[in-house]
Amino acid sequence: MDDTAPNNASGPLRPSAAFMRRHPAHWIALGFGSGLSPKAPGTVGTLWGWVSFLVISRWLDAAQWGWLIAAALPVGWWACTATARHLRIADPGAIVWDEIVAIWLILWLLWPAGFWMQALAFGLFRYFDAAKPGPVGWADRLCKLQPGQAIGWWQGFGILFDDLVAAGCTLLVLAVGVRLWT
């Protein structure tokens, strides 16, 4: 059985290290392995994104981060779409590239925020991403697979879109909170 064939009718696949090694899109979408966490892969992926932001920031300035994030979005769209097709699941929990890019965006816009502001941003983002209140829930439902529909680019976009809305909600809450606090 070819478990990298898109939309195979034999049912969903379980992501694994072996699956991740089969295609470059899998490496990206699964957050270089952080999405393979057996518990809370979204949180682990977000944490990986936070740590990688801190490490990469040693070499990139704000403008370079902007370009990296701008490039990470279309690359991530491709990787998330391909990986979802190969797993035969429209929005697999193991795909964490959406969390990684979203936390990069948040931290880039907050930079040079201190540790506690970053930790607060992390916690707020995880809340918005997991609970999906209001606009995040709308964004999540917008791109859901319809019965009989094959996993396509629209679902790949949806994987990223709800996390970008969660990032926007996080930034809005932080901006209002800082404004009220000062």
Is residue 119 assigned to a domain? yes
Task: Give pLDDT, residue 148.
Answer: 81
Other Cβ atoms less than 10 A from the Cβ of 72: the count is 18
Task: Give pLDDT, residue 5.
Answer: 47
Q: Which domain holds residue 85?
A: 17-181
Is residue 4 assigned to a domain? no
- Preceding peptide of 74 cis, ω within 30°: no
Q: What is the mean pLDDT of residues 48-76?
A: 98
pLDDT one-digit tens code per residue, 12-22:
899 999 999 99
Task: Give pLDDT, residue 66.
Answer: 98
Is residue 170 assigned to a domain? yes
How far apart CA 90 and CA 87 sit, in angstroms, is 8
Number of domains in the chain: 1
Is residue 160 assigned to a domain? yes
Is residue 166 assigned to a domain? yes
Instruction: Using CA atoms of 8, 91, 25, 122 in order, give the dihedral in degrees to the nearest 10.
Output: -160
